[in-house]
Amino acid sequence: MSTLHAPVLAWYDANQRDLPWRRPEASAWSVMVSEFMLQQTPVARVLPVWEQWMERWPTPADLAAESTGEAVRMWGRLGYPRRALRLHGAATAIAEQHDNVVPADYDDLLALPGVGDYTAAAIASFAYGRRHVVLDTNVRRVFARAVSGVEFPTTSPTRAERDLASDLVPDDAPTAATWAVAVMELGALVCTAKEARCGECPIAQECAWLTAGRPAYDGPPRKGQAWDGTDRQCRGRLMAVLRGSEGPVHVTSLVTAWERTDQRERCIDSLLADGLMVRAGDETYALP
């Protein structure tokens, strides 16, 4: 056992958030929905939408029976609405190929639409207690600081980073599953990107970055999250118009939502290409 295991696991046992998808009665499908929604989105924004989804679509088949447009509508303002399309595609595959049961095997999960390495490992680990390397942004940051001695990890995981994470996974599968979520929680609540609260950290005495004097990050510039005036904001405004309508909307409504013609047209084209919007007529658009 790594010297990091016991303090992190004890800290998690005392400080973990009570999230519905972590409770013993949570279904594998509820875990899967949470993992799709939590990608690049804070827990506080996800909770109310997750609750609405689980009430309306408690199984994959329930979602698969609806149109993709309803999935996009219910996604609301979570952002990155292509995730709704991918989740709908995964639900359809589960209903048709897995008897409406989210598979437990990593390879079966990875074969589902919209499921990548992280999501497959997270579902197998959190829903079924399997032993996997679950490497999200929070986990990578904790390992970068505590073990590698740097403030932030590289933009994308390296082979060395994956090997390190693999070496740190406990041998026992249930413990490994708890370890995965415990490190993630530590990165989300204590060892955050905005502030490293070392005084609250259970592994401060083991932390290579703290021991080195918390050296400042000296890697490539980290990308900010610009919003005002971006295509993301424009697409969001256009999608809000579509979600708010019971039927097709006229192009004039989209003009009102975003006046800059060249950007609006570009974003309409991208939404059509992504399958988030369809043409309902010569001058009308609708959800798919």
pLDDT at 40: 87
pTM value?
A: 0.91
Residue 66: which pLDDT band, with cuts at 50, 70 and 90? very high
pLDDT at 219: 76
Statement: residue 27 has pLDDT above 90: yes
Average pLDDT over every residue of 20-39: 97
pLDDT at 2: 86
Q: Point out the residues that are catalytic.
A: 35
Long-range contacts from 108-116, C-beta under 8 angstroms, 24+ separation: 113/86, 113/89, 114/36, 114/83, 114/85, 114/86, 114/87, 114/89, 114/90, 115/86, 115/90
pLDDT at 174: 95
Average pLDDT over every residue of 124-135: 97
Residue 249: which pLDDT band, with cuts at 50, 70 and 90? very high
Torsion, Cα of 276, 90, 166, 139 (10° steps): 40
Name which residue leads in pLDDT, 155 or 224.
Answer: 155
Name which residue leads in pLDDT, 190 or 227.
Answer: 190
Domains of the chain: 5-128 (1.10.340.30), 137-211 (1.10.1670.10), 231-286 (1.10.10)
**Total count of residues recorded for the chain:** 288
Statement: residue 162 has pLDDT above 90: yes
pLDDT at 63: 98
Average pLDDT over every residue of 48-77: 96
Statement: residue 245 has pLDDT above 80: yes
**Residue 285 phi, psi dihedral angles, 5° rounding:** -135, 160
